[in-house]
Amino acid sequence: MKSIQTVIFLSVVSSLIVNCQKPVATDKDTQSLLVSGIFGSCFSLDTCFDQYAKTTDEGASFQVFDGSGNRFYARQSILDFNTYKPIASGSKWVTAITAMRVIDCNAGNATNCGTVTAASCNNGAIGGAISLSRTTAQVLGWTGTYANVTLRQLLSFTSGLNAGGGNGSGQASCISTLPAGASSTQKDSCVDVIRDQSTGTPGALYQYNSNHMAVAQRMLEVSCNKTWDTMFTQLIVTPLGWDASQAVWRGNSRGGIDTDGSLSGAYGLSISPAHYAGMLNALLTNGTAKNSSGTNVNTFLSATSVTEILADQYNGAKIGYSQFSAFGYRWQYGLGNWRFCTITDIPAECDKDLISHSIGINGFYPWIDKNRNYMAILAVNNTGRKNGLSLLPASSTSLFFAETVRPLIHIQIGK
């Protein structure tokens, strides 16, 4: 894989140039530590983590789990394993897993489904069982260019719903401004705005933005005749024993006035790293999650759903917008997660050294290495510019940390 260190080196150089041109609030000790870490090295998980934690706004935690879901490494600084914080784009994996839970429960292929029982999600403009191939026409009654957009394309960001042109980044403003307890009419109006502002061709381009998942969530609501919060509670929160008062979706994830989070599946969840790990265990073990007590939740996902979530979902699409492609990373995408590997455009080759991850802009970084049979979660909530490097976002520093410690993990597990 192309060196993350090289990417961050370029970012640092660019940042230092920019910072010569305008003042940036800086913690000089943190900046020095970060730069020395980029040019230097560390030789144990503890020292690497301690070095990294000093650069964060609110502290951090780091956990590594074996193929059975047993935690064999854990370290924290200020931010502990049970603290609920926003996870930004780490939410995308949760949305994809929730969607696949809906599909599995509707087909009778999963357990602990609440009222999402077999054949209960067959609603829509044209009746039929919810699946990755269901379209916006069948469920939402859309016509025109975006009538044949599938749930699969929405969860893999290849739907053509491109945030109003440009490079395809960003999102429709209504996603973050829906009033708390938004009605079906208000949600329909928002997804219609997304449709009507878009200029992309379905299936042609991968464009990383929040619009796709907002429409996917509305499709699931209409299919099941339930709100997103109801499905999320019954399919995720209750069986996994999460704290329902804290595991909430917010449209306005940066604080201020509470807004409805039922279309914020791309970024809006708060969760603790300990609880996130229990959910992620289902992807590592081909279907078995762990609840908050550490007890197995069997058949949480079908093996087919696990495969779909982690598989390459481009299906001929080209990268239109990816925040990583500017640095030379041509990572492709599954359902709600990046596929980080050496040969990105040949799925069978990519699978040989694949790291599946769902990194957040705040630095939250969960990843799975199926080849080496382990998973890890770096939990952090960097919202400021403590390191003073304005072009070095928290996601970059987390990637650098992960690339530094992955070889140390591999030595520890002997793979």
Residues 284-318: tens digit of each pLDDT: 999 999 999 999 999 999 999 999 999 999 999 99
What pLDDT shows up at residue 3?
53
> Whole-number mean pLDDT of the chain?
88
Mean pLDDT of 391-404: 80
Q: What's the predicted TM-score (pTM) here?
A: 0.91
Please return the burial class of 185, using the count of CB atoms within 10 Å of its CB with bins 0-12, 13-18 and 19+. exposed
pLDDT at 397: 86
By mean pLDDT, which of 35-49, 185-199, 227-241, 283-297 is the weakest? Answer: 35-49
CA–CA separation, 410 and 373 (whole Å): 10
Cβ neighbours of residue 212 closer than 8 Å, sequence gap 6 or more: 153, 154, 155, 156, 157, 159, 161, 266
Mean pLDDT across the stretch 122-132? 98
- What are the pLDDT digits (tens) for 244-290? 999 999 998 766 678 999 999 999 999 999 999 999 999 999 999 99
Q: What gap in Å lies between CA 361 and CA 381, rounded to an integer?
A: 9
Tokens of 133: 């191939």
pLDDT of res. 393: 65
- Kindly indicate the confidence band of residue 371, based on its pLDDT and cuts at 50, 70 and 90: very high
Q: What are the tokens at 183?
A: 């009605």
| Stronger pLDDT, 387 or 280, i.e. the higher one | 280
How much of the chain exceeds pLDDT 90, in percent?
75
What would the pLDDT profile of 130-169 be if each residue is shown by its tens digit?
Answer: 999 999 999 999 999 999 999 999 999 999 998 765 678 8
CA dist 231 and 225 (Å) reads 10
pLDDT at 30 over 50: no
Please report the pLDDT score of residue 194 as a whole number. 96
**Confidence (pLDDT) at 363:** 92
pLDDT at 6 over 60: no
Q: 7 versus 111: which is more confidently predicted?
A: 111
Strands 205-207 vs 318-321: parallel, antiparallel or unpaired:
parallel
Q: Could you tell me which of 289, 368, 312, 334 has the C-alpha nearest to residue 63?
A: 368
Give yes or no for residue 390 having a pLDDT over 90.
no
Burial of 101 (C-beta count, 10 Å sphere; 0-12/13-18/19+): buried
Distance between CA atoms of residues 61 and 82, nearest Å: 10
319 vs 25, higher pLDDT: 319
Tens of pLDDT, residue by residue over 176-212, are 999 999 999 999 999 999 999 999 999 999 999 999 9
Q: Taking a C-beta distance cutoff of 8 angstroms, is the pair 190, 172 a contact?
A: yes
Determine contact, residues 129/120, Cβ cutoff 8 Å.
no
pLDDT at 169: 81
Computed on alpha carbons and rounded to an integer, the radius of gyration of the chain in Å comes to: 20
Give yes or no for residue 1 having a pLDDT over 90.
no
Q: What is the pLDDT of residue 201?
A: 93
Residue 372 structure tokens = 């080496």
Q: What is the predicted pLDDT for the residue at 389?
A: 43
Q: pLDDT at position 34, please?
A: 47
pLDDT at 23 over 80: no
Secondary-structure percent of the chain, ordered helix, strand, coil, rounded to 5: 40, 15, 45
Q: How many CB atoms lie within 10 A of CB 244?
A: 12
Among residues 239, 270, 238, 231, the alpha carbon closest in space to that of 253 is found at: 270
- Is the pLDDT score of 36 beyond 60? no
Number of residues that make up the chain: 415
Angle subtended at Cα 307 by Cα 303 and Cα 310, rounded to the nearest 5 degrees: 140
